[in-house]
Chains A and B, each alone.
Chain A
Amino acid sequence: MTRLQQLGPTALVWLVLLTMPFWINAIGGYTELASRVVVMALAATALNFLLGYTGTLSFGHAAYFGLGAYGVGMTLKYLVPSTTLGMLIGVVVGTVAAAVIGALIVRLRGVYFAMVTIAFGQVFYFIAFRWNTVTGGDDGLTGWQRQPIDLAGIRLDIQHHDVAFYYLALACFAASVGAMALLLNSPFGRTLQAIRENERRARFLGIAVERHIWLSFVISCAFVSLAGTLYALLNNFTDPRALRWDLSGNFVIMAVLGGMRSFWGPLIGAAVFVVLQDYVSSHTENWMSIVGLIFVLVVLFFPRGVLGLLQRRGPA
Chain B
Amino acid sequence: MSDADRPAAPGRRNVLRAALAASAANLAPPFILSARGEQPVRIGLANPLTGTYAAVGKNELAGCELAISQINAKGGILGRQVELLSEDSTSGDAGTAVQKSRKLIERDKVDFLLGNVNSALGLAMAQVSNEKGILHIVPGGHTDAITGATCHWNVFRVCNSTQMEANAAAQQLVEKAGRKWYYITPDYAYGHTLQAALEQAAVKVGASKVGADLSPLGTTDFSSYLIKAQAANPDVILFLIQGDDMVNALKQAVQFGLDKRTHLAGAQQELESLEGLPPEARIGAWVFEWYWKQPGVPHVAEFVEAIRKKTGKVPTARTWFGFVSTWSCALAAAAAKSLDAVKMAKALSGMKMPPEVGLVPDQAFYRAEDHQFIASLFVGTAQAGGSDPEDLFNVTRVARGVDVAGRVEDSPCKLVWPS
A and B touch in the complex (CB under 8 A): yes
Whether A285 lies near B49 (C-beta < 8 A) is yes
- Residues 71-89 of chain B, each 1 if its beta carbon lies under 8 Å from chain A, else 0: 0000000000000000110
Out of A32, A234, A281, name the residue touching B106 (CB < 8 Å): A32
Whether A7 sits at the interface, judged by CB under 8 Å, is no
Closest residue of B by beta carbon distance from A142: B123
Whether A139 lies near B143 (C-beta < 8 A) is yes
CA distance A242 to B95 in the complex (A): 9
Whether B187 sits at the interface, judged by CB under 8 Å, is yes
CA distance A217 to B371 in the complex (A): 49
Whether A32 lies near B102 (C-beta < 8 A) is yes
Q: In the complex, identify which listed stretch (B7-15, B159-167, B224-232, B410-418) lies at the interface while the others stay far away.
A: B7-15
Q: In the complex, identify which listed stretch (A21-29, A84-92, A176-184) lies at the interface while the others stay far away.
A: A21-29
Q: Cβ of B189: which chain A residues have Cβ within 8 Å of it?
A: 132, 137-139
Whether A26 lies near B19 (C-beta < 8 A) is yes
Interface of chain A: mostly helix, strand, loop or mixed: helix
CA distance A143 to B123 in the complex (A): 9
Whether A83 sits at the interface, judged by CB under 8 Å, is no
Q: Cβ of B128: which chain A residues have Cβ within 8 Å of it?
A: 236
Whether A145 lies near B127 (C-beta < 8 A) is yes
Whether A287 sits at the interface, judged by CB under 8 Å, is yes
CA distance A195 to B170 in the complex (A): 65
Whether A130 sits at the interface, judged by CB under 8 Å, is yes
The answer to whether residues A145 and B143 also contact, given A30-B102, A235-B94 and a CB cut-off of 8 A, is no
Whether A236 lies near B16 (C-beta < 8 A) is no
Whether B196 sits at the interface, judged by CB under 8 Å, is no
Whether B106 lies near A145 (C-beta < 8 A) is no
Whether B106 lies near A278 (C-beta < 8 A) is no
- Residues 12-30 of chain B, each 1 if its beta carbon lies under 8 Å from chain A, else 0: 1101101110110000000
Whether A36 lies near B131 (C-beta < 8 A) is no
Whether A237 sits at the interface, judged by CB under 8 Å, is yes
Q: Cβ of A145: which chain B residues have Cβ within 8 Å of it?
A: 127, 131
Considering only residues 202-258 of chain A, those with a C-beta below 8 Å from chain B are 231, 234-239, 241-242
CA distance A174 to B217 in the complex (A): 39
Whether B98 sits at the interface, judged by CB under 8 Å, is yes
Out of A129, A130, A282, name the residue touching B87 (CB < 8 Å): A282
Q: Which of B99, B103, B126, B188 has the largest count of A CB atoms less than 10 A from its CB?
A: B99
Whether A237 lies near B106 (C-beta < 8 A) is no
The answer to whether residues A140 and B106 also contact, given A28-B15, A28-B16, A145-B131 and a CB cut-off of 8 A, is no
Whether B127 lies near A142 (C-beta < 8 A) is yes
Q: Cβ of B143: which chain A residues have Cβ within 8 Å of it?
A: 139
Whether B120 lies near A285 (C-beta < 8 A) is no
CA distance A278 to B90 in the complex (A): 11
Whether B88 lies near A139 (C-beta < 8 A) is no
Q: Cβ of B49: which chain A residues have Cβ within 8 Å of it?
A: 285
The answer to whether residues A281 and B150 also contact, given A145-B127, A237-B127 and a CB cut-off of 8 A, is no
Whether B356 sits at the interface, judged by CB under 8 Å, is no
Number of interface residues of B (CB under 8 A): 44
Interface of chain B: mostly helix, strand, loop or mixed: helix
Q: Cβ of A287: which chain B residues have Cβ within 8 Å of it?
A: 50, 88
- Residues 188-219 of chain B, each 1 if its beta carbon lies under 8 Å from chain A, else 0: 11001000000000000000000000001100
Considering only residues 79-119 of chain A, those with a C-beta below 8 Å from chain B are none
Whether A30 lies near B103 (C-beta < 8 A) is yes
Whether B56 sits at the interface, judged by CB under 8 Å, is no
Out of B94, B106, B145, name the residue touching A162 (CB < 8 Å): B106
Whether A25 lies near B23 (C-beta < 8 A) is yes
The answer to whether residues A33 and B120 also contact, given A28-B107, A283-B10, A285-B88 and a CB cut-off of 8 A, is no
CA distance A29 to B126 in the complex (A): 22
Whether A58 sits at the interface, judged by CB under 8 Å, is no
State the Cβ distance, B216 to closest chain A Cβ, in Å. 8
Out of A27, A28, A36, A129, name the residue touching B95 (CB < 8 Å): A36
Whether B88 lies near A237 (C-beta < 8 A) is no
CA distance A285 to B62 in the complex (A): 14
Q: Cβ of A27: which chain B residues have Cβ within 8 Å of it?
A: 19
Q: Cβ of B188: which chain A residues have Cβ within 8 Å of it?
A: 129, 132, 137-139
Whether B123 lies near A139 (C-beta < 8 A) is yes
Q: Which of A30, A139, A145, A239 has the largest count of B CB atoms less than 10 A from its CB?
A: A139
Whether B376 sits at the interface, judged by CB under 8 Å, is no
Whether B106 lies near A241 (C-beta < 8 A) is no
State the Cβ distance, A241 to closest chain B Cβ, in Å. 6
Q: Cβ of B347: which chain A residues have Cβ within 8 Å of it?
A: none
State the Cβ distance, B240 to closest chain A Cβ, in Å. 14
Whether A288 sits at the interface, judged by CB under 8 Å, is yes
CA distance A162 to B107 in the complex (A): 13
Whether A237 lies near B98 (C-beta < 8 A) is yes
Whether A31 sits at the interface, judged by CB under 8 Å, is yes
Q: Cβ of A142: which chain B residues have Cβ within 8 Å of it?
A: 123-124, 126-127, 145, 150
Closest residue of A by beta carbon distance from B9: A284
Whether B172 sits at the interface, judged by CB under 8 Å, is no
State the Cβ distance, B26 to closest chain A Cβ, in Å. 10
Whether A139 lies near B106 (C-beta < 8 A) is no
Instruction: Apart from A162-B102, A242-B94, A278-B100, list 16 A-B contacts with CB within 8 A.
Output: A25-B23, A26-B19, A29-B107, A33-B103, A129-B188, A137-B188, A138-B120, A139-B143, A140-B94, A142-B124, A234-B98, A235-B124, A237-B94, A238-B94, A241-B93, A277-B96
Can you list 7 A-B contacts (CB < 8 A)?
Answer: A25-B107, A139-B123, A142-B127, A142-B145, A145-B127, A236-B98, A281-B87
Residue positions of B touching A, CB distance < 8 A:
9-10, 12-13, 15-16, 18-20, 22-23, 49-50, 87-88, 92-96, 98-100, 102-103, 106-107, 119-120, 123-124, 126-128, 131, 143, 145, 150, 187-189, 192, 216-217
Residue positions of A touching B, CB distance < 8 A:
25-33, 36, 129-130, 132, 137-140, 142-143, 145, 162, 231, 234-239, 241-242, 277-278, 281-285, 287-288
